[in-house]
Amino acid sequence: MASVSRFFLRRSFPLLVIVLLLAIQLIYTSYSSSYSQRLRTLTNDYLKVSSEEPHHDSNATYDDDISESPEKNVAIFDKLNHKNLASMVDAHGSSVISRPLKDKCNLYFEQLYEEDSDWKIGNEWMENFNKELFESKDRWIESQLRKLEATRRDKFEHENGHDSETPESWTTESDENHLELKYYAELEKGSTTQYTMINEIHRLAVYQACFGNDDNSSSYQAFLDDNANGIENRNYRNIETKMYGWISRKLPIFVHWTGEQTLGPPTTMESNHQGTMNNLDESMFDNKLKLSSNIDVGYNESFFNHLRSGFSGRGIVMSSADKFFDDTFALIRALRAVGNTMPIQIVHKGDLSPANQLELVKVARENSIEYPTADYSKLESLARNNHDNFRFSKNFPKQDLWFVNVDRCIADDYKEYFSSYTNKLLAYIFNSFEEMLLVDSDIVPYVNPSYFFETSQYVSSHSLFYKDRSHDEEISETDVDFFKAMLPTELENWMFGINASTDKTLKNRYMGSRYKHYMESGVVAINRLEYWAGIPISVQLSFWKPVMERVWGDKELFWLSQSIAGNENYEFNKYHVAAVGPLTKAENRKDLKAKELCATHPGHISSDDDSLVWINSGVTTCKRTDAYERDFESQREKNGFQTKEEVQKFYQGTLKITDAIIPPAAPEIHNELGEPSKGWLPSDMCWGYFWCAYSSIGGSSLPEHQGLVFKFDENSVLWHDYISKIYMGITSD
């Protein structure tokens, strides 16, 4: 009898596997469509809430599915994406909407503690996250099969040698069946985790709306007072630390170039160029404050509101470290050349040595500065004759430097999260300016920094963002759906005054067109008091791998975090990035219609006046100067160089900015004319750092397929050369 049963099981096992797979596929059939549709089909768990008197912004526009609803003032939202709100409405009814904001904030967080007294915003989500799970089951399984095949091949060759006869196949149908089961299990796990992250972001936005905008922490303290009886049991006093676990509640150390030190934002940031360079010593930049190991800001007030209360004035902020010293040194020279008089705060984590801080003070404060004398004389003459002088400054004003050590501000278990570009987010948070110009250390300005605050965008919105290259690397629909789920809805607008997202966010280049590169964050001008709600959210987003695999560095976090916080007032310069430098010679373009410009450096041209305002990545023509030998043939064809030495000199020299091309931001046009099919095409020159921009695509004459070509006049080229030479410390003309 037992043998018959075993025979039956052996014969029926494949059938059982097939039946099981079919059942799983039926359960998860919704996963084959977009992420949001998959989840909606799976859960069918929505909540409809009505409001007689919605508290929305009268200028805002809303989603089509809401506006088309037959009921007035109705919000339909996914309970899985808004778990805390759904619990609050379930517990108190939709009439809770009409209660005062203070009451709603109390109820929201009381409900949160009721459901989980140990809640916190996490940082550990999905270190092994695989975005491909959400995009294609077949691709994920194929990827796993390739890994399995490689593992088995390596093991076989290790055990049997390279010359042994290999199996016909390294994987089996059973492997595929097993991986299909694993795929659905991993997808379920990943979906649950993403839901958790989405809910945590909504929680942050609500917290910022309730408590994040008080200069004196009055609403925060009122919340603590109202819940005093629950503090011992629920630890309400730690609510901000639960929200922002990465803060230590310790203040940054500000060190002035004179050696004056202060804990937390200085009481005044007036640009006082007093002080003497005599007796400057690197020991002045060692910490001399008597610091306690205890926190600096108690739990009876909001740490961030305490920090915000010290914001004042206008200035330049950058993140730096010893490894970025050369860029920072060169940038300070350039800032003197363009006449900057705003104070500068250089933010670091103790990784900018006192010796290097002293060298930065010297280049910022020394009486003399190296500059090309002939170029200087020409520009001075233009200024004397009231010519358009590009804000030429003949005095090289001394810079008012501050160094801000934020190492103690970061909780120990979060310090590993701040590396590379995320250090810029620390500078975003911990400087002391109300109006901030945040810059990367490798940018080169061609205008006085005050210009950024005078642009039409900043004047109207108190913010200025810049766009990235308009090239066509795409993101998936599931990526967009993931971020859309983080955006505020009508219900959050009614409940907490968080403006619902409009087409400004939903139809921008990233969300609406699904292009990965929208913003370039090398220069950001912003009034931090007006946009504070979104600033801490940008830091939290940077911790999560499922977020950071969908964006490029920190760039998209600036606008995205503001939209999540319900503030869409930010404005972009209207132009996308330009390629800047010399055009490819016309004789080397044959009979092609499109002009071409290949360069390493993204350039940013003001849509106010068509002037070049800044570029990225220094001013060396090719940052990999060792590429001159391999690039010789390409450069001879494009630019007519006759020897490798000419290419070497060209690469090592400063970029000659005579022209610029902003390509059309249009879809690809295949053609047989030899014309470029896209506005941006990568080049293998300069070890792949060159990008080629084209003035038109596909040979088309349609307006949407035309870009912008800028030919800078003689005086502009002189100015560009002058600033670039000072940046590099070149005195010859």
Q: What number is the average pLDDT over the span 238-252? A: 92
Residues 231-252 have a mean pLDDT of: 80
pLDDT score of 48 more than 80: no
* DSSP assignments along 166-201, one per residue: PPS-S--HHHHHHHHHHHHHHHHHHHHHHHHHHHHH
- Quote the Cα angle for 433-439-442, to 5°: 150
SS3 readout for 561-573: HHHHCCCCCCCEC
Which H or E run contains 65? Answer: helix 64-67
pLDDT digits (tens, 9 = 90+) for 407-416: 999 999 999 9
Nearest partner of 403 among 561, 569, 287, judged by Cα: 287
* Most confident segment among 3-17, 120-134, 380-394, 550-564: 550-564
Confidence of residue 331 (pLDDT cuts 50, 70, 90): very high
- The whole-number pLDDT of residue 679 equals 96
Backbone angles phi, psi at 451, to 5 degrees: -55, -40
Is residue 438 within 8 Å of 318, Cβ to Cβ? Answer: yes
Average pLDDT (366-386) is 89
Q: What are phi and psi of 84, to 5 degrees?
A: -70, -40
* Residue 649, number of CB atoms within 10 A of its CB: 14
Angle CA(547)–CA(548)–CA(553) in degrees, nearest 5? 140
The region of weakest confidence among 209-218, 241-250, 453-462, 633-642 is 209-218
Average pLDDT over residues 467-495: 92
β-pairing, 463-467 vs 519-527, is antiparallel
Q: What is the pLDDT of residues 380-397, one digit of tens each?
A: 988 888 765 557 888 899
Q: Quote the radius of gyration of the chain (alpha carbons, Å).
A: 29
Q: What share of the chain is helix, strand, coil (3-state, %, to 5)?
A: 45, 15, 40
Share of the chain above pLDDT 70, in %: 85
In a 3-state reduction of DSSP, which class is residue 474?
strand
Coil, strand or helix: which one is 46? strand
Distance CA 386, CA 378 (A): 13
DSSP state of 576: P
Average pLDDT over residues 230-259: 83
How much is the pLDDT for 567? 97
Least confident of 386-400, 464-478, 712-726: 386-400
pTM given for the model: 0.87
Please state, in angstroms and rounded to a whole number, the distance separating the CA atoms of residues 223 and 301: 10
Query: d(Cα 220, Cα 299) in Å, to the nearest integer?
Result: 10
DSSP-assigned letter for residue 32: G
Q: What is the mean pLDDT of the chain?
A: 85
Looking at residue 123, the DSSP 8-state letter turns out to be S
Residue-wise pLDDT tens digits, 534-580: 999 999 999 998 999 899 989 999 999 999 999 999 999 999 999 99
pLDDT on residue 67: 32
Helix (H, G, I), strand (E, B) or coil at 407: helix
Return the pLDDT at 503. Answer: 96
12 or 267: which carries more pLDDT confidence? 267
Q: In degrees rounded to 5, what are phi and psi of residue 523?
A: -135, 125
Are 346 and 252 contacting, i.e. CB atoms less than 8 angstroms apart? no
Beta carbons of 236 and 299 less than 8 angstroms apart: no
Residue 217's pLDDT is 62
Higher-pLDDT residue of 76, 96 = 96
How far apart are alpha carbons 252 and 408 in whole angstroms? 7
Cα 348 to Cα 15: distance, rounded to the nearest angstrom: 63
Q: What is the pLDDT of residue 213?
A: 78
HSE-up (13 A, CA, CB side) for residue 38: 25
Question: Alpha-carbon dihedral of residues 65, 68, 72, 77, nearest 10 degrees?
Answer: -10
CA pair distance 634, 688, nearest whole angstrom: 13
As given in the structure block, the two tokens for residue 276 are 């003497």
pLDDT of residue 136: 87
- Give phi and psi for 49, each to the nearest 5: -130, 135
pLDDT single digits (tens) 520-545: 999 999 999 999 999 999 999 999 98
pLDDT for 125? 59
> What is the pLDDT averaged over residues 93-114?
90
pLDDT at position 71, please?
41
